[in-house]
Amino acid sequence: MKSIVIGAGIAGLATAIRLRVKGYEVKVHEANNYPGGKLTAFQQGGYRFDAGPSLFTLPYLVDELFELSGKNPKDYFDYIKLDTACHYFWDDLTIFNASTNPKEFAKEAAKVFSVPEVEVLDYLKYSHKLYEYNSPVFLEQSLHKIKNYLKSHVGKALLRIWQFNLGKSMHRVNAQKFSSKKLVQLFDRYATYNGSNPYKAPGVMTMIPHLEHGIGTFFPKGGMHEITQSIFKLAKDIGVEFQFESYIDEIIVDDHKATGVRLDTGKEEFADLVVSNMDVVPTYRKLMPTQKAPERTLKQERSSSALIFYWGVKGEFKELNLHNILFSNDYKGEFDSIFNKKSLQSDPTVYINISSKYNPTDAPKGCENWFVMINAPADYDQDWDQLIDKARKMIYDKIHTSLGIDIKPLIENESVLDPRLIQSQTSSYRGALYGAASNNPLAAFIRHPNFSNRIENLYFCGGSVHPGGGIPLCLLSAKIVDELIE
C-alpha cells in the first residue's frame, strides 16, 4: 500500500512515521529544501536561532514516535525538565519568577501578589482536573466520528460538560478565581498558546496551564530544532522517502476518491491514500479548487500571527531566563488591536526567548541570542514594513521600562519574521501561527476534521485542523490520522 504526505512540518513527519510503522510505503513531498516547516532554525553571525516554536511541552508525544518504530528515543533525542517556567515583568517593576513546581509557584505568588497560597494551589488543581477530563475527549481522538461519542470515558466527560466553563471566557473564569489582576493576566496569557483572545476563548482553555505547571515544561538538548532533526532522522531510518523542493499543485480526485498528487512539474504520482499537512485553507483553494469546500469551516477567524526580531545581543542578563514575558499595561486593548483592529497597540506584551541560557553554544561568549516576539494579527495586507518599524521602537521602550536595559546599542545583528514570510515559507493561510482561532465556545468542534467527509482516502494533519496548533496538538493530529486509517 502506498501513501503520499504533502508537507514535512512536524505533523507531516509524525504522520509519515506512523504510516510507515503501519506498513505503508510513504513518500513525503516538501516544498522547501528542509524539513520541519515552522519548526526550523538558522545561523546569524555567530548566533543560532530556533526560528519558530520555543516552548516544548508533552515530550512523551515525541518519544512515542521512536518507541512505535522500535527505537530507543534517547538514541535520537534528549531533553531536560525545567525548574522555571517563565520570568514575568511588569512596568511597575513587579517581577515574578514562575516555578514549575506548584508549591513553589504558589509560595512565590503569595509573596509577590499578596494572595493566599491556597488560591493558587486550588486553581492549579482545577486546571489539572479540567485537563484530565478534556484531553482524552477533545484532543486525543476525532470529534467527528459518532462511534467515539459512545466510549464510556467520553460519556462521563460529557456529563461533566457544565464544569468546563464553555459559556464563560477564559478571562472571566480567571477573574473569578484570582483576587490579583496580575495573576489574572498571567493565566489569561495561556490563550496565546493557540493564538486566541482570552477575552473570547472559552473557559475550558484554563486547562492549558496544567501542561506547564502540572506536567512540566522542557528544553530539548541542542534546542527546539532537535525535535525536527531527530524525527526526520527516524523517518529516514525506517524507510520514509522524502522529495524536497517538491511543491504539490493538485490532489488528484477520481470518483470521490483521492488517488494521488500532481507536482508543479506536471508529474503525477499515485497512492492508496493522501495526507495533507498543508494548511487546510490552501489545501482546498489551491490543491482542489474544483471540489466542494466546507466554506463555513474555512472562513473561521484566523489565530494570531507574530512579529519576531532575532537579535544577537552583546551582553548577558542574569534577570532573564529561557522564557521571559514583559506584560502590556492594557492587555484587553492589545487583543482588541490584534483581533478586531488587525493592528498593533502602542504597549505590546513582549516575549523574549534566550536559548543560549541552556545551550551556551547558541551565542558567542558573553553574548545572548534574543528571540523577541510580539503577538500580531494575521496578514490582511497591512503595511508590515511600517508596523515592523513601529514594533521595534515599542519593544525598545518596553525593555527599557520593564527591565531598565537600553538594548538598541547592544544589538549586533538582526533579522525579522512577519506574517507575510510565515505564509510564504509554510503556506499557512494569512500567516496565522495556529490555523483557526479558538475564540468561540464551540471551537474544538468546528475545526476541520482529520479526514474528508466527501473524498475517500484523503486525510489532514497539522496545526490548521483538529485538535489544533502547537507542537503537541500537531503530533496528536498525526496520531488521530493513524487511528482513522484502518
Site membership for ligand FAD, residue 62 (CB under 6 A): no
Task: For residues 388 and 421, give the distance between their C-alpha atoms in angstroms, rounded to a whole number.
Answer: 13
Binding ligand FAD (rule: CB under 6 A), the pick from 5, 17, 26, 39 is 39
Query: Which is closer to ligand FAD, CB of 50 or CB of 188?
Result: 50
Site membership for ligand FAD, residue 428 (CB under 6 A): yes
Site membership for ligand FAD, residue 273 (CB under 6 A): no
Neighbouring C-beta atoms of residue 312, cutoff 10 Å: 23
Query: Which is closer to ligand FAD, CB of 109 or CB of 372?
Result: 372
Residue 203: all three cell numbers together: 473557559
Residue length, the chain? 486
Q: How far is the CB of 389 from ligand FAD (least distance, A)?
A: 19
Task: For residues 343 and 387, give the distance between their C-alpha atoms in angstroms, rounded to a whole number.
Answer: 8
Q: How far is the CB of 163 from ligand FAD (least distance, A)?
A: 26
Q: Please state the separation of Cα 274 from the chain's center in Å.
A: 24
Strands 273-276 and 2-6: parallel
Q: How far is the CB of 218 from ligand FAD (least distance, A)?
A: 11
Question: Please, are residues 396 and 407 in contact by the beta-carbon 8 Å criterion?
Answer: yes
Task: For residues 459 and 444, give the distance between their C-alpha atoms in angstroms, rounded to a whole number.
Answer: 18
Give the interface size with ligand FAD as a residue count (CB under 6 A): 36
Q: How far is the CB of 103 from ligand FAD (least distance, A)?
A: 26
Residue 105: all three cell numbers together: 509557584
Question: Please, are residues 6 and 275 in contact by the beta-carbon 8 Å criterion?
Answer: yes
User: Pattern of binders to ligand FAD over 278-307, x per CB under 6 A?
Assistant: x---------------------------x-
Binding part of the chain for ligand FAD, among 25-33, 134-142, 179-187, 250-258 by CB under 6 A, reads 25-33
Binding part of the chain for ligand FAD, among 105-113, 265-273, 310-318, 426-434 by CB under 6 A, reads 426-434
**Closest-CA residue to 217 (of 84, 102, 51, 76):** 84
Q: Where are the alpha helices (DSSP H) in 256-383?
A: 280-282, 295-298, 331-336
Question: Please, are residues 81 and 211 in contact by the beta-carbon 8 Å criterion?
Answer: no
User: Pattern of binders to ligand FAD over 353-392, x per CB under 6 A?
Assistant: ----------------------------------------
Query: Which is closer to ligand FAD, CB of 120 or CB of 417?
Result: 417
Half-sphere exposure of 432 (CA within 13 A, CB side): 32
Query: Which is closer to ligand FAD, CB of 87 or CB of 165?
Result: 87
Site membership for ligand FAD, residue 37 (CB under 6 A): yes
Strand partners, 417: 308
Task: For residues 308 and 136, give the distance between their C-alpha atoms in angstroms, rounded to a whole number.
Answer: 34
Residues 6+ apart with CB under 8 A from 323: 54, 55, 85, 86, 87, 217, 351, 353
Site membership for ligand FAD, residue 467 (CB under 6 A): no
Question: Please, are residues 305 and 192 in contact by the beta-carbon 8 Å criterion?
Answer: no
Site membership for ligand FAD, residue 10 (CB under 6 A): yes
Site membership for ligand FAD, residue 3 (CB under 6 A): no
Site membership for ligand FAD, residue 427 (CB under 6 A): yes
Neighbouring C-beta atoms of residue 104, cutoff 10 Å: 14
Query: Which is closer to ligand FAD, CB of 37 or CB of 203?
Result: 37
Q: How far is the CB of 67 from ligand FAD (least distance, A)?
A: 20
Binding part of the chain for ligand FAD, among 85-93, 229-237, 251-259, 467-475 by CB under 6 A, reads 467-475
Binding ligand FAD (rule: CB under 6 A), the pick from 3, 54, 337, 359 is 54
Binding ligand FAD (rule: CB under 6 A), the pick from 59, 73, 441, 470 is 470
- The sign of the CA dihedral 215, 216, 219, 224 is positive
CA–CA distances in Å: residue 249 to residues 115, 264, 283, 288, 384: 57, 5, 9, 9, 28
User: Pattern of binders to ligand FAD over 431-460, x per CB under 6 A?
Assistant: --xx--------------------------
Binding ligand FAD (rule: CB under 6 A), the pick from 18, 20, 27, 38 is 38
Query: Which is closer to ligand FAD, CB of 120 or CB of 465?
Result: 465
Please give the residues from 200 up to 259 whose contact with ligand FAD meets the rule CB under 6 A: 247-248
Task: For residues 104 and 110, give the distance between their C-alpha atoms in angstroms, rounded to a whole number.
Answer: 10
Contacting residues toward ligand FAD, per CB under 6 A: 6-12, 29-32, 37-39, 52-55, 247-248, 277-278, 306, 308, 422, 426-428, 433-434, 462-463, 469-471, 474
